[in-house]
Structure 1
Amino acid sequence: MDTTIPFAAVVAVIALAMAFNYTNGFHDAANAIATSVSTRALTPRVALAMAAVANLFGAFFGSKVAATIGSGIIAQPEGVDGMWLVVAALVGAIAWNLITWWFGLPSSSSHALIGGLCGAALVAGVAVHWSVVWSKVIIPMVISPVAGLLIGYLVMAGLFWIFRRSNPGRVTRGFRLSQTASAAAMAFGHGLQDAAKTAGVVVLVLNIAGYHNSNVVPIWVLVLSAVVISLGTYAGGWRVMRTLGRRIIDLTPPQGFASETTAASILYVAGLAFGAPISTTHTITAAIMGVGATKRISAVRWSVANNIVGAWFLTFPGAGLVAVATWYLTSVFR
């Protein structure tokens, strides 16, 4: 055990990780429920409560994602400098979450965290596992939105064909009920992906301090991460929710169901099969665009979509630069 690191310092860094986790919850709550709320399938508070519970359960299935974040992105740093590296990374991720939340942009908390870790590692002289970043972050960052766009389009086109002779009012009512299940599935996927990412950071902190010596996530870490992200989810992210639910396209219940089902499926495959920490935000946003394009291309407000995509590209370097600045500003404490 590294006795140079006080137990109080370990607790403080874990608390900072939970602060990021909380911002992740209210920033990305819209990912799971914006479509259900905008189509009036669920009331906002009921949707948030449901999403919080589903997030809680989803977190227990994200061990592969946690391992990728905890040991796959950067080499394990050591000692006090290692703890400050994690602090800088978390500050970068939190700052980016708050900035994009303020402007109502559904950017990726996942990429903010990974960008923060990479930026802090580079300035601290710690190796970044670029092969893992490329295979499990960059490539999925490109593939998941493209998959969301294409699969969302195909799913919605399939629904149009299946229900082409059905009564429109009855179909709308049926899909409004079905959205309860699809929104819960999306929230479960968010917990599987995003709560697990914070759990991976906590494992990294415990390994640096010598209180843990493996990539296995202790059960109390999963519980803590799941509970905090659920509380953040219940707090809600109304600014981002308006962007996803109404500003990209005016969604109908069948469109909401199709986009949520598409995004949830992609999250499950990425997290459970490959341990890839993909962005729930990118995936659901792209699925909404794909679903909306089946009506007509002009139905999607592409100017809003352009702003969102711009935020996507800025997230990784933006959070990384804040982490670099934090590393230098905290140098007086090392």
Structure 2
Amino acid sequence: MTLSVVIAVILVALIFDFTNGFHDSANAMAGPIATGALKPRTAVVIAAVLNLVGACLSTEVAKTISGGLFDDSLISASVILAGLVGAIIWNLLTWLVGLPSSSSHALFGGLIGAVIVGAGLASINGSVIVSKILLPAVVAPLVAGFAALLATKIAYRATRRTPSAHTEGGFKYGQAFTASLVALAHGTSDGQKTMGVITLVLVTAGFQSSGTGPQWWVILAAGLAIGLGTYSGGWRIMRTMGKGVVEIETPQGAASGAATSATILASAHLGFGLSTTQVATGAIVGSGIGRRGALIRWATARRMVVAWLLTLPGAALVGGLAALLADRGVVGVIVLLALLAVASLVIWRISRRNQINADNVTDGHEVLVLSTTPPPTYVEENQLDDRKHGRSRAKGAA
């Protein structure tokens, strides 16, 4: 029984890692794709390779998860499985509607909810959760946003007397470079979270000593899973990040990428389980504030903040309900896995009603879920805006 559940947990953890990859690929590559600095397919190939490389560079975040958040002597493999189910369902739902919520917080929320239900509140190390998860969730996006704001202002001020035709190419190279750094940083942060979960289940099942880090095959498997997920694209969230919050120009794209990568790499070194999505979004908003005349879609930003606030409790609720089922032995585990498969299939079928891919990811900023009508292209949006402004001017003249 224990071995079969452990194998199931490892497989489901790698599935979560795959969803993490396509859910968060926009963190690195939405900007350069939106500005044309990189072609969509080229961008996801670069991000996938660097996610794999980054996952193999550090294990500090993995150690935080496997040995810091929970008392591994009180939890079981089935509880960890329930937490992963909660994280995957939340990831798929937010991907469906194109909301760049946090895969990291979905994982933490799912695990916390499952552990509370399956092992009790005493099995959670509250001080570690506050210092390693909650505080970075508040501080890191603000730091990245402020850094991106300053970098954007400096970039435009330094080139204000230079013709844009002379600077555009250089900033495109700069944006491609900083986006690649973000992809590398994403691997060092999010790639390790699945390593930590797999290590945690190996420890709880007695296959590995408590306090030890991830084994080499765990590092390699997690790196490959997140790399493959990134390669699949995650185009729905890519559209929201690249077009939905602010129209990104190459100077601000390069600035936000630099701020994002620096924040994530520093946090990963300290073992913080921060959200790379929140950091990247904070940097994008900061770059929009830093560019004079930039149109920031605050309504979209507010929706994203609401999604961030709901992610931990929402995933925890799903994880807790899954733990009630997983606690019923082999039958409960089998039913839980079947429900996960059915829910994933239903969400995928709904997403097929309005597909977003590499060919249309930059056409607009809306992500329609239930409508069979494709979203307007960027040109159509501009034409519609012109007609609205024209009517407004006509009324004003009258």
> 2:285 matched to 1:289?
yes
Residues 258-278 of structure 1 show CA distances to partners (whole Å, capped at 9, x for unaligned) of 111100000011011x11011
Query: Which residue of 1 is the match for residue 187 of structure 2?
Result: 191
Pick from 241, 244, 247 the counterpart of residue 241 of structure 2: 244
> 2:57 matched to 1:61?
yes
Contact 1:93 1:113 in 2 (8 A): yes
- Mapped to 1, the partners of 2:291 and 2:177 lie a distance apart of 24
Residues 91-131 of structure 1 show CA distances to partners (whole Å, capped at 9, x for unaligned) of 01001100100010000000111111111111123411110
Bigger Cα displacement from structure 2, 292-301 vs 311-320 = 292-301
Pick from 275, 279, 289 the counterpart of residue 279 of structure 1: 275
The CA deviation at 1:215 is 2.5
- Mapped to 2, the partners of 1:134 and 1:330 lie a distance apart of 27
Contact 2:152 2:291 in 1 (8 A): no
Query: Which residue of 2 is the match for residue 262 of structure 1?
Result: 259
Query: Which residue of 2 is the match for residue 41 of structure 1?
Result: 37
> 2:161 matched to 1:161?
no
Pick from 10, 14, 22 the counterpart of residue 26 of structure 1: 22
Question: How many residue pairs align between the two structures?
Answer: 327
Structure having the higher helix fraction is 1
The CA deviation at 1:212 is 1.0
Residues 166-215 of structure 1 show CA distances to partners (whole Å, capped at 9, x for unaligned) of 22111111111122211110000110001100000000011112111142
- Mapped to 2, the partners of 1:129 and 1:164 lie a distance apart of 51
Secondary structure, counterpart of 2:2 in structure 1 = coil
> 2:304 matched to 1:308?
yes
Supply the AA of the counterpart residue of 1:277.
Answer: G
- Mapped to 2, the partners of 1:136 and 1:107 lie a distance apart of 18
Query: Which residue of 1 is the match for residue 48 of structure 2?
Result: 52
Residues 296-333 of structure 1 show CA distances to partners (whole Å, capped at 9, x for unaligned) of 47621100000000000000000000001111123332
Query: Which residue of 1 is the match for residue 250 of structure 2?
Result: 253
Q: What TM-score comes out, normalization by structure 2 length?
A: 0.80
Secondary structure, counterpart of 1:74 in structure 2 = coil
Query: Which residue of 2 is the match for residue 322 of structure 1?
Result: 318
Supply the AA of the counterpart residue of 1:70.
Answer: S
- Mapped to 2, the partners of 1:223 and 1:171 lie a distance apart of 40
Query: Which residue of 2 is the match for residue 331 of structure 1?
Result: 327
Pick from 97, 115, 123 the counterpart of residue 117 of structure 2: 123
Residues 47-78 of structure 1 show CA distances to partners (whole Å, capped at 9, x for unaligned) of 00000010011001231100011111111045
Q: What TM-score comes out, normalization by structure 1 length?
A: 0.95
Contact 1:73 1:114 in 2 (8 A): no
Larger Rg: 2
Residues 217-236 of structure 1: matches in 2 within 5 Å?
A: 217-236=214-233
Contact 1:193 1:267 in 2 (8 A): yes
Flag structure 2 segments of 5+ consecutive residues without an equivalent: 331-398
RMSD: 1.3
The CA deviation at 1:223 is 0.5
Identity %: 40
Bigger Cα displacement from structure 2, 305-314 vs 9-18 = 9-18
Flag structure 1 segments of 5+ consecutive residues without an equivalent: none
Bigger Cα displacement from structure 2, 149-158 vs 164-173 = 164-173
Contact 2:25 2:230 in 1 (8 A): yes
Query: Which residue of 2 is the match for residue 91 of structure 1?
Result: 85
- Mapped to 1, the partners of 2:295 and 2:20 lie a distance apart of 30
Supply the AA of the counterpart residue of 1:107.
Answer: S
Secondary structure, counterpart of 2:328 in structure 1 = helix
